[in-house]
Each structure stands twice: as C-alpha cells, then as structure tokens.
Amino acid sequence: MSLNRRQFLLTAGAALSGNPASAAVITSDLARPHTAQGLQFGDLGGGRVVVRSRADRPSRLWVEYATDSRFKRSTRLRGAHALDTSDYTARQ
C-alpha cells in the first residue's frame, strides 16, 4: 500500500471538503477551530508524510486518510494539541 504525493493530496483534500465520513462532532461553524492558513504536507517518503496546521484557538489535530478515492476504508489519527505555547500549531 503506497501513495504517491498526488494521491495523498487528493485524498486529504476529500477529507477536508466536507466528506460525511469525516464530519466533526461539533456542528456549529462558530464552535470549530479555523485553519485560515490551511494544511502543510512535508517530509514525504517511505510511505509517510508529516501534516502540519495552525488553528485560531486551542484544539487538537485529527488526520484522516485513505488509500482509495472514495474513502471507504479510512484511518483516523489523533494528533497533537495545538496550544498557545506552540502558537496553535500542531504536527502529526
């Protein structure tokens, strides 16, 4: 099971686009942390990638990925907390 960079970005984009399988528990947009700067992907290689994001308030980074374009068998990873000590930035 290996993804090239393009497949990973397309899959990650699908997760962020409002895919019902990745819907948040909090339903109000005002209650959710916002990531005005989006996501950053780096350190690709060996079947791995580092995902970084910056929130506007304390939160936790969750990364959901799948190896198929329909997200049928996705995997959700609980990432680090984004706190004021890290300028609300988290990395998984």
Query: How would residue 54 be classed by pLDDT, with cut points 50, 70 and 90?
Result: very high
In this structure, are residues 54 and 39 in contact, taking their beta carbons and an 8 Å threshold? no
Q: What value does the mean pLDDT of the chain take?
A: 79
Q: What are phi and psi of 68, to 5 degrees?
A: -125, 155
Based on DSSP, count helices (H) and strands (E) in the chain, helices before strands: 1, 5
Rounded Cα–Cα distance for residues 7 and 37 (Å): 22
Domain ranges within the chain, ordered by starting residue: 5-91
Reported pTM: 0.58
Contact call for residues 57 and 88 (beta carbons, < 8 A): yes
